[in-house]
Structure 1
Amino acid sequence: MLIQVLLILAALLLFALFVRRSHTARLQAFKRIGFLLFCVFGVFAVIKPDLMTWLANRVGVGRGTDLLLYMLVVVFAFFSLNTYLRFKDTERRLTKLARAMAIRDAVAPARALELESEPDEQAVDGHALDEQQDALAR
């Protein structure tokens, strides 16, 4: 049946998208064109339901609604995979940014020792510290 070939080709296309993982302008253009074609197809399906049944019979599916369901499953799988890849890319970029900021804001070990050894403001005034210790001893 033709529908089986089409669904297998759609699955292979999704697999190729998953393996490729590049977000080129060309790929984004294909995504937009595919989305536009799907929307146009959906409008025709609403306006002329007989067209869906005719097309479904041509590709080996009994009813037009079944064909539409198959198409929606493929589109949902594409959308899910595309969203997953975009989130993974965003996560990778955020990790790189966090690492770059951590390196940029890092304090050199020698400077860290200087900061630890600098006296506190309370400790500078030794007289106030002695008074606090005397008060605690009483």
Structure 2
Amino acid sequence: MIFIVQLVLVIAVIFVSLALMRGGSNTRHLAIRRLLLMVFAFAAAISIFLPDLLTRVAQFLGIGRGTDLVLYALIFCFFVFMSTTYQRFRQSEFALTLLARRMALDEAPRPWLEDDRPRLQAPVKQQPTAASGSER
């Protein structure tokens, strides 16, 4: 029976990993995250109020103790958290790279555009002054 639970846990890890790698933070993924959070909160509340139920569920699954079941669940949750954090970090890096490229292109000199050329001003004609020695 332990082998079946281990197999199910490994398949669940692979499934969640593939789903998270597919990525995107669209409404579907947000809904799944919220649903999983609600299931987690409900299961946590039940396990707090009825700890014997958790032990019975663990024994039914062939795990032995409820604490081992909680440990397996925490390992799985940590893996999901690590995967989502890594994905979010990759998306942030990609966005930052695009922003840096856009800023570099916007601030680069463009000599082919008229607005970026240095303005050539006509020389200012100087008026003759008394000190210049001009006579009337």
1:89 to 84, 88, 91: 91
- What code does the residue aligned with 1:17 have? A
Write the deviation string for residues 91-116 of structure 1: whole angstroms up to 9, x where unpaired. 1011111111211121114688859x
- What code does the residue aligned with 2:16 have? L
The sequence identity of aligned pairs, in percent, is 35
2:21 to 19, 22, 25: 19
User: What is the match of residue 47 of structure 2?
Assistant: 45
Query: Which stretch shows the higher mean deviation, 50-59 or 14-23?
Result: 14-23
| TM-score, normalised via structure 1 length | 0.74
| Greater fraction of residues in helix | 1
* Structure 2 runs not aligned, ≥5 long: 120-136
Runs of 4+ in structure 1 displaced over 4 angstroms?
Answer: 109-115
| TM-score, normalised via structure 2 length | 0.75
2:72 to 67, 70, 73: 70
- What code does the residue aligned with 2:105 have? I
How many matched pairs? Answer: 117
* Structure 1 runs not aligned, ≥5 long: 116-138
Q: Distance in 1 between matches of 2:101 and 2:44?
A: 45
Q: Distance in 2 between matches of 1:83 and 1:10?
A: 19
The answer (yes or no) to whether the contact 2:17–2:83 under 8 Å persists in 1 is no
C-alpha change, 1:4 and 1:64, in structure 2 (3 Å) is same
TM-superposed CA distance for 1:90, in Å, is: 0.7
Structure of greater relative contact order (alpha carbons < 8 Å, 6+ residues apart): 2
Q: Distance in 2 between matches of 1:95 and 1:85?
A: 15
CA RMSD of aligned residues (A): 2.3
